[in-house]
Chain A
Amino acid sequence: MRIRPVWLAYAAIALILAVPVAASLFAWSGLYDVAASRGHWWITDKFLRFGMENSVRARAPDVQPPPLDDHNLIRLGAGHFHSGCAYCHGAPGIAMSPISQHMLPAPPDLKDRVGAWTDQELFWLVKHGLKYAGMPAWPAQQRDDEVWTLVAFLRRLPSLDVAGYRNLALGGLRLDPPTGRELAMQESAADAAGACARCHGAEDRMPASTLVPRLHGQPAEALLAALGAYANGARYSGIMQPIATALTPEARKALADYYAGLCPSIAPASGEAEPVHIERGHRLIMEGDTDTQIPACSGCHGANALPIYPRLAGQSASYIANQLRLWQRGARGHTETDAIMSAIAARLSEDQINEVAAYYAMQPVEAAAASQPVKKAGAP
């Protein structure tokens, strides 16, 4: 009997229909065991890992990383790793949580793994996370600059001992060990995991990284607005958003008041920039530039400005420049103040950004920010 082509076509169609039907039946039957306790078959595990590794290699971006041996990147990355990653992945001196160890797959100890990936692949992994593995994506997809700080830390991780890790992640912060009563009664016994001071400093200590802003003496209203914006996602940051979200409104208010009340006694940064650049930055800050429609920075960031605006004197140059670049890329946020600054930052050249940042970094901190805000002046 001759096989007619039309039969072949029917058979192909039947097969194509049968595959999803069979798959649906399989899923419907409940035969497949989704239990994390059972693990994968050897072949399934190999297949998934093979697919994952190839996917990461294919998708890692072809970009030049920032200098990953920069201490400021490593320090900030360490601070975030401690509160965001160490719970699952462990860290020197911190055991992996038994709970996370019963995920499938169990989160690996990263010091053994990071060597297998290039910088760009690590960046992609941290930014996008992994499907089916419980590895979350970076909460603020706009903030590639934050992701790189973590990559910088991961490169350092394999060579860290316990003391080295604590020094990086906690910034030398020493808290008295909690008493038995405190441990028993407090809701959270995390040892400074959420402490702002780890990255931002407090009392007499200044921020641990130049990428982190100095909060001492900033107007409370500006600090409170920033925490609120992080908490509701209006300001983008994978590092600050989880922290701010975990704070109650009362806690945010208390923190804002605390930092606003600190009187910073820091020596202004010594100038690395050339005097001519500093002078240009100074002129732009005081006078603006009418030709390119840049208003004077001092109009909003001087001592008498609204308390919703931060004070910039004595702020780190890297931080100021990074924020201005974030506005230019539309990556800082969409708050009321972002709407103002993004319009202005868009008109700044890269040189102007660096000059303005360098000048502000060298200024002594004005004590005025801590004094009573002018906002309610004229009101009864």
Chain B
Amino acid sequence: MMPALARLRPLAVPILLGGCSGAQSVLSPMGPDAQRILQLGALMVIGAMAILTIVCIATWIAMRGPGAARARLAGDGAIITGGIAFPVVTLTALLAYGLWVMRANIAPAAPPSRLRVEVSGELWWWRIAYRDGLGNRIAGANEIRIPVGREVAFILTSPDVIHSFWVPALGGKLDMIPGRTNTLRLKADAPGIYRGQCAEYCGGAHARMALEVVAMPEAEFGAWLSRSRDSAPEPADDMARRGRTLFLAAGCGACHAIRGTSIGAIGPDLTDIGARRSIAAASLANSPEHLAAFIADSQHFKPGNRMPPFRIFKPDELSAIAAYLTGLK
């Protein structure tokens, strides 16, 4: 039995350490909300370790300690102090501290921040819409861009089952519940790419339902947002033009919107798919090969998803569509 476990031991170290840093970790907070959660979490871990140490010492005394100490432990005083007074005081203090630390999250919403990002959890991807305060609604999917240093309100909903929105490096998780609208306010302190994950089991491909939050300097973000109100760019070459013709003739546009080209609203908006780092809800790197493979048989990558396999395309047709989509940035 030991050899089997011993063989697994080298694996355990990278797996455990992998959680300590990087794009998707509560231990490397990149925003005030995540910072507060880490602070509260650290205090609770340290406190719990201290209490566990005291309990261990008390247990040792109760079994091996000198008679006088054992008698004192067995007395009413010890029970009242350690069993009633201590937990009441400690937990009350913890609650007060917790409320104080997290007061920014609990407080009623400050005047609505100018930028709101609507995120709808769907099976198994994220429908995104930016509300820029000027009445514009800019659709996106699976990749959220936010400005650094500005609080952004995430309006969380779900049309199907319960999902949970969680970007560990930026803040806590909040469920997306059908029929309800939850609001989460997050701020990124530094530019970077922060990975998020659906944190509530939502069906077969739940594990492949991830997203990326790209925090950009304010000026860059503003430029991106104003550019995003335009229609998708025209195909650059013959191959991409052929790809667009196929995209429309094969009916892709009945499910997928490309601003200025198609208006389908069932699957992810593809207006800027070429600019995204990944496809299929952050489960595949964005490349023409992956796009082509996903179109031909998305069920292979995400069993049970809503997109039928399009095996009708020949390889050159898939390449043309992939070229068209890759050019959408």
Say yes or no for A18: interface residue by CB 8 A criterion.
Answer: no
A379 touching B266 by the CB < 8 A rule?
A: no
Across the interface, which residues of A come within 8 angstroms of B255, CB to CB?
295, 299
Given A306-B249, A309-B251; A290-B265 close (CB under 8 Å): yes
Chain A residues numbered 295-313 whose CB sits less than 8 Å from any CB in chain B: 295-296, 298-300, 304-306, 308-309
**Chain A interface, DSSP helix/strand/loop, else mixed:** loop
Cβ of A293 to closest chain B Cβ, rounded Å? 5
Binds A, one of B34-42, B49-57, B83-91, B238-246: B238-246
User: What is the interface residue range for chain A against chain B?
Assistant: 20 to 34
B241 touching A295 by the CB < 8 A rule?
A: no
Chain B residues numbered 283-315 whose CB sits less than 8 Å from any CB in chain A: 306-312
Alpha-carbon gap, A291 to B122, bound state (A): 12
Chain A residues numbered 247-293 whose CB sits less than 8 Å from any CB in chain B: 288, 290-291, 293
Cβ of A379 to closest chain B Cβ, rounded Å? 6
- Residue of B whose beta carbon sits closest to that of A374: B249
Cβ of A372 to closest chain B Cβ, rounded Å? 13
Say yes or no for B96: interface residue by CB 8 A criterion.
Answer: no
A378 touching B238 by the CB < 8 A rule?
A: yes
Chain B residues numbered 207-258 whose CB sits less than 8 Å from any CB in chain A: 238-239, 241-246, 248-255
Alpha-carbon gap, A304 to B248, bound state (A): 8
Alpha-carbon gap, A295 to B248, bound state (A): 13
The 8 Å CB contact of B308, one of A296, A305, A339, is: A339
Across the interface, which residues of A come within 8 angstroms of B159, CB to CB?
291
A305 touching B251 by the CB < 8 A rule?
A: yes
Cβ of B308 to closest chain A Cβ, rounded Å? 4
Alpha-carbon gap, A290 to B256, bound state (A): 11
Across the interface, which residues of A come within 8 angstroms of B242, CB to CB?
377-379
Given A299-B254, A300-B254; A374-B245 close (CB under 8 Å): yes
B264 touching A378 by the CB < 8 A rule?
A: no
Say yes or no for A337: interface residue by CB 8 A criterion.
Answer: yes
- Residue of B whose beta carbon sits closest to that of A306: B249
Cβ of B122 to closest chain A Cβ, rounded Å? 9
Query: Could you list 19 A-B pairs, sorted by A, with CB under 8 Å?
Result: A288-B264, A288-B266, A295-B255, A295-B264, A295-B266, A299-B255, A300-B254, A305-B249, A336-B310, A336-B311, A339-B308, A339-B309, A340-B308, A341-B308, A342-B308, A344-B308, A374-B245, A378-B241, A378-B245
B interface residues, Cβ below 8 angstroms from A: 159, 238-239, 241-246, 248-255, 264-266, 306-312, 320
- Counting from the closest, the 8 A-B pairs by CB-CB distance are A299-B254, A378-B242, A300-B251, A295-B254, A299-B251, A343-B308, A336-B311, A340-B308
Q: A295-B266, A299-B253, A375-B249 are in contact. List 7 more A-B contacts (CB 8 A).
A: A290-B266, A291-B159, A295-B264, A305-B251, A306-B250, A339-B309, A343-B307
